[in-house]
Structure 1
């Protein structure tokens, strides 16, 4: 894992932990809790399109912030 990848994982994890909402990343048939740095570290850079599923009291804010961060790191999100 390179420096940029590590930075992306840490930034995504830290941002997710600022929200009360559940933030799950769907990659293929796997579901990863974005608040789990271990889950992210083994999943994030598998050259896939990712889908965020966010549910909770601050989901609109969390979704907007997570989408911006994924875009910043060049990680494609599906529109589903």
Structure 2
């Protein structure tokens, strides 16, 4: 069965926690993260969490993507989730 493709709208503490759970599962594929913050900041917040500690996966970014384990996840900054 194919993985369910999801986009996460909002990458605060709950969005990042949902991402981490989904990333460990084979039946969920995170394809986009929508947040008003730039991908550089999103990558930093994902990697360094004051409550949960340092995330154990490789995290990076480019101008348009959050990169986790060298896999791009589209970074969107749109107030209308329908456009993501």
- TM-score (norm: length of structure 2): 0.32
Larger Rg computed on CA atoms:
2
**Higher RCO (CA 8 Å, separation ≥ 6 residues):** 1
More helix by share: 1
- TM-score (norm: length of structure 1): 0.33
